[in-house]
Every structure is written in structure tokens, then in C-alpha cells.
Amino acid sequence: MKFDTPAGDNPIDRMTVVGRPHSRIDGPLKTTGRATYAYEHHREAPTAAYGHVIGAGIAKGRIRSMDLGAARSAPGVLGIVTAREAGKLGKGDYNTAPLLGGPEIDHYHQAIAVVVAETFEQARAAAALVKVDYNRTPGDFDLAAALDKAPAPDEDRLGQFEQAFDAAPFKLDALYTTPDQSHAMMEPFATLAAWDGDQLTVWTSNQMIDWGRGDLAKTLNIPKDKVRLISPYIGGGFGGKLFLRADALMAALGARLVQRPVKVALTRPMLVNNSTHRPATRQRIRIGAKPDGEIIAIAHESSSGDLPDGGPETAVNQTRLLYAGANRLTSLRLAVLNLPEGNAMRAPGEASGMMALEIAMDEMAEKLGMDPIAFRVQNDTQVDPENPDRPFSQRNLVRCLEDGARRFGWARRNARPASVTDGRWLVGMGVAAAFRNNLNVTSGARVRLATDGRITVETDMTDIGTGSYTIIAQTAAEMMGVPLDRVTVKLGDSSFPVSAGSGGQFGAGSSTSGVYAACVKLREAVAGNLGLDPAEAVFEGGKVKGARRSAPLAEAAKAGELVAEDAMTWGDLDETYQQSTFGGHFVEVGVDRYTGAIRVRRMLAVCAAGRILNPVTARSQVIGAMTMGVGGALMEKLEVDKRLGYFVNHDLAGYEVPVHADIPHQEVIFLDEADDKVSPMKAKGIGELGLCGVGAAVANAVYNATGVRVRDYPVTLDKHLDRLPAVS
């Protein structure tokens, strides 16, 4: 089904199930331990052996030799796979460096072998006996230094930026930096692999089933139809599980060697250094404005690094769309670094870019003597600033900021920094706009009507803790006119129709639209079986009603199960409308005037993301994103060993993330809106919007509390302690 015009008589608009708050239907399984994660498929492979992956001990160079003798003779060892045993491997579409290294090494902790044994402990002990001799070669591990020899940036221009900026009566020119960050999800990368002849099945933790299946087939040089990938439950991903990782490949290679199912889970240090991370950025922002606050020149230049053949962190995305301005410059510069791969982490691009842009907007407002919200409102636009002929499908940024200001008590904020105290605490408020694009991805589903009237939905969509099971069930229930408990949802299996998958904030809107399309076909089949006009049939209360008769839904399947399958496609929708989500983040902090310690006191997010399919699951996503934003603002940073090329704090003891004590009351408000131009669901993504801008709101609040501006994230106390106002 192609979506190209707003739906007319749309069953979803009844909103008897969709749009209503429902607890996650997978919740009882998870809270009772019955949801089976990747490493827990014991029944499927009771004879499984265990693999332990060995990671490279250097960041760049070559393996001279590997002594496997002691490991091979260790108790319980069944086999060892290195690049030699693996033979010639291909390379998937989504991996920057080979998942199995040797003899060449591309980055620290690149997988170089897997030891397979009867037990995990035996595999780990034997792996420690492997002796590897390396020839280390110099690498580039320092972003600032690597940029000195990086090629010229890729630029996008509109108007005459330099001339307009030079002529502007008010100017800002500032440098902001964000660090490398880790996904730090709860569930590690884990896989159970089993071969049945030439057919491979992997139970793994992966956000994008079809991508993972295709890349595993390419890497193993086998047909895609010989691979089945299953991932029904995922213990967090944040973008780190978008792509095939070493656990899946090494489990498959190990299982092929020992002719038994093999389980592999990457250790926490390997999770950080073997997989992907959010890359560090250096961002220069220049803004020129008139005395009334109108932006006449804006430039955002971002630099980042990655492995050879990698790509940049697209931190200027939002600056191209968020604020008006006739003269514009954005650029991305990429340096080659020999650190582990930089790639997608929750809201890639905008999360880092908003941390810089939204501080810059506050700094510019201060130069102008304007309220930060008024400055943003002044430069709102209802069309794509780089393409005025393309309007936003819906844009309520101003309402988010103004409604949020009233709810948060912004009028009580003292614009003069370091003016409000509460005992030993300096208190401040900060604001930032929120922005994240909405993407539509072709998404399919299969819907079954059983003889007892139950509905079953099958799609390879995944649930990474976001509520996919629930909103898909709500969609099918609304379309087929049955209660929610009469719908069964099956996800995360490559034998099901290909869906959007979970990533890029495109999962909810796209996957439910695919279910909508399949349900439209099933409704047509049901109406046909009952002798009703599909255009007039009404599905509600477990019945189907037409002009002349009414019948139970189950009657349509009395001769046998009915099955319908379809996918939603989008045509040239992206060319017609700019689709984005908007919001406002408000934060109040306290800064200890003696120690510099920062405490977040309260937070508010106001979000405009089209129809909210389930307020309960959507709120959960937003408060999780807000929490991650606090981490990015105040504590999260991978420390790079610039001599040896690896992340030193590669576990949850050294890499700090927020805990319950760090997070105060969080309030989330969703604007009541439905965007009929983006999908039949009239919904857009929400999960990443909750993150974009939070870091800047925290940093702006710290400045308002202390008068100390920190442009280098995270905003740790050592960066402002010696500049705090003197204690009287």
C-alpha cells in the first residue's frame, strides 16, 4: 500500500484503543523472567557449547603469530576459530571494519579468535592461554591532532554567509566539544548460533532483523535465505545493536567448527571497544543577528573522526532546519582515527549537534539582551530554510516553548546569572529547543484471523524496551474492532515480513503503518467472505456490520484461517513535506557553591510528535531519553588512551551513567496533535526527541545558576569550580 494522501475514513481515528494509555503487554513476561533474551534460549539448544571471544591487544598493526597450543589442550575445549580457520569472509553493508581481524588489526579489541568449550568458564580460561605476538604500527587516536591532516570539509551554503556575518551588528563565534560516548545498554551483545546442514539460525540481540540477516549472510558468503535471525526481546540497544557485531559472527563460526550450537556474549570491555560508540565532535557555531533578534547569518561547522571508510557524526542536521536565516553555512569534516568504530547512538547527529547549537542560541540571546525563549520564537520558520517551497508537515515548536514556559514557571527565572540561592546552592533554570527528524521506512506485516476470532500479527519489527508489542497490538485491535487481549503480536523473526526495525525514531510510525496496511487487506477479505461492501463495513465489538447485516468477526474464518499481508510505502512524501518532531526542554539545577557539585532539581519536556499512539509507553521513552541527556551533560565520557588507542573506562565502574539518585521529578507533556501528512497513523517518532536538547538545557541552567559558561561536555565540576562566585 502506498501512502500519498491523508486517509479519509480511517478506522484509526476512532481512537478507542490507539492513543489510549495501556501498560506494555510484554511487561508481565519481563517482570517474571519469562521473556527470553538472546543468551537464554536454553530449550532451543540444550546441547549448546560456549564461546569466548579474544579481542586484539593493539589498536593498529598486524598479528605476527598466535600460539594456540596450550588453549587447544585445555580442559573442555572443543575448538578455536581464528581468521585462518574461518577462511575467506565477506563484508556486510553496515560494518566499517571486518568483524574478525587477522592478520591485519583495525582497532583495539577487534575480534581475532573465539575459543569454544563445554562451559563458559572453560572457554574463558582457555582464551587466557592464547599467546599473541603483534607488530604494532603508529595510529591516530587524538581528534584535534588528526583534524590537522583531515581533508577539506563537505559544505552546504545558502546566500552569502561571510558577508552577512561580518555586517551583523551582533555576533557570536564559539567552539563547543562533545566527547566519545558509549551505549552502555543493560544486555550485552549476545548470540546463540545453530546450524542444521547449511541452514543457520541465530538467536541474537539486534534492532534491525533484515539488516543483520543480510550482513551475516554476506559475511559468511552464503545465500540470505539460508540465514534465520530471531530477536524477540532486546535488553536495550540505543543504536549499538542496529548492526551485526562480532558475537553473531563468532558464534556462527564456532558452531560451524564444532558442529554444535554455540553461545557467545561479549564482555563489558569488549562491548565498549569492540562495538560502535558515539564519536567525539568539535563544533564551531557562528551567528549574526539584527538588534531585534532576527538571525541574518548562521554557520555550524562540525568535525569528528572514524575508521577509514567510516563517516562523520552529522551534528549539523538540525541547524539546517531548526531556525530561519537567509545566509547559511553548514559543514562536516571527517578525520581518520584508529579508535573503535564511531556510528549511530541514540539520535545520532542531533543529540551532539543540539548540545552545541542550543547553548549558542542562549549565548546569542544574552548578547542581544533577549529572553532565550523569545529569541528562539523570533526565528521560527514554517518552511525548510534551505528550500522554502517545502513546508513542514506540522511544526509546533513555538507552542512547545511557550506552553512549557508557563508550566515550568519560566517567568520566575532571574535572567542575571548567579542571582538565586537556596542555602548553599546556586539555583538556575535552562531551556533548549528539541528537534529530531521523522523518517518513514517501508514496513510490512502479516495479519491472521483465526477461526475463534483471534488476531495474530507477524512482523520482523523489534522491541528494544520501547513498547512495540503494545502499539502494534493496539493498531490491529483498532483496525479489526476487537479488544486488545484478543490480539497476539509476534516480532523479531526474519521469517516474518520485513519491517522498519527499531532505529532513527522511525520504528513506531512505520511499523504500525505496515500493520495498518495488512489490516486493510484483511478487512477486505473478511468483508468479502461475509458478503459485505468493504468500503461500508464497520469493525467494532468483535463484529462486522454492514448496511444489511451484522456478523461476528470469527464467522468470516469459519472455513479456515484468513491471512493477509501488505507493506506501507511512502512515494515522494519526503520531497513534498519536511517531516520533523519538535519540543522544549526545561531544567532547573542547583550548584553547590563550595564544591561545584551539580544536582538536577526538576525537568520538563513538552513534545510535539503527531498522534501519541500510547501515552504510557511514549512517556517511558521520553523520560529515559531525558535521563540519558543528563548523563551526556554531566558525566558520560569515554576516556581515550591517546598512546595506545583504546577507551580506558570500558566498563560500568569507570563509565558513569545516571542512577536513580541523579534524576529528580520528570514531567512530560504531549501536545494534542495529529499529523495527517506523514502516515495513516498520523504519528511520528518520539523516543529520540526526548534526548535532543536536554544536555544544552542542563548546561544553560548551570550557567544561569553560576555565571560560568562551560562549552566542553560533560560539564564536570573541575571545569567551573575555580570560577564560581566567591562565597561572602
Cα separation, 395 vs 173, in Å, equals 28
Cα separation, 521 vs 567, in Å, equals 10
Residue 552 backbone phi and psi in degrees, to 5 = -60, 145
Which stretches within 481-583 are classed as H helix? 507-529, 573-576
Cβ neighbours around 69 below 10 Å, total: 11
Closest CA to 302 of 324, 327, 326, 329: 329
Q: Are 479 and 512 in contact (CB under 8 A)?
A: no
> Please, what is the angle between helix 350-368 and helix 615-634, to 10°?
70
Residue 621 backbone phi and psi in degrees, to 5 = -65, -40
291 burial class (0-12, 13-18, 19+ CB within 10 angstroms)?
exposed
Q: Catalytic amino acids?
A: 688
Q: Are 312 and 336 in contact (CB under 8 A)?
A: no
pTM, two decimals, is 0.98
Q: List residues bridging with 79 in a β-sheet.
A: 116
Placement of cell 562533545 in the chain: 178
354 CB contacts (<8 Å, ≥6 apart)? 318, 432, 433, 434, 435, 692, 693, 695, 696
Placement of cell 504500525 in the chain: 512
Q: List residues bridging with 304 in a β-sheet.
A: 281, 334
Structural domains in the chain plus CATH codes: 349-439+576-723 (3.30.365.10), 441-569 (3.30.365.10)
Strand order in 111-117's β-sheet?
Answer: 77-82, 111-117, 49-55, 262-265, 190-196, 199-204, 227-230
Which residues in 407-422 are b (16+ Cβ under 10 Å) and which e? Answer: ebebeebeeebbebee
Closest CA to 274 of 654, 650, 657: 650
Instruction: Walk along the chain (728 residues) in steps of 10 and give the mean pLDDT of each run.
Output: 79 97 97 96 96 98 98 98 97 95 98 98 98 98 97 98 98 98 97 98 98 98 98 97 98 98 96 97 98 98 97 98 98 98 97 98 98 98 97 98 98 98 98 97 98 98 97 98 98 98 97 98 97 94 94 98 98 94 98 97 98 98 98 98 97 95 96 96 97 98 98 96 90
Cα separation, 628 vs 54, in Å, equals 30
CA distances from 500 to 492, 603, 646, 680 (A): 11, 32, 33, 16
Cα separation, 662 vs 182, in Å, equals 19
As a dihedral over the C-alpha atoms of residue 469, residue 471, residue 477, residue 483, rounded to 10 degrees, the angle is: 80
Q: List residues bridging with 295 in a β-sheet.
A: 289
Enter the DSSP assignment of 83: H
Closest CA to 612 of 14, 20, 16: 20
Three-point CA angle 701, 705, 707, nearest 5°: 105
Count of alpha carbons within 13 angstroms of residue 461, beta-carbon side? 34
Q: Which three cell numbers stand for residue 247?
A: 558475537
Closest CA to 228 of 479, 436, 41, 372: 41
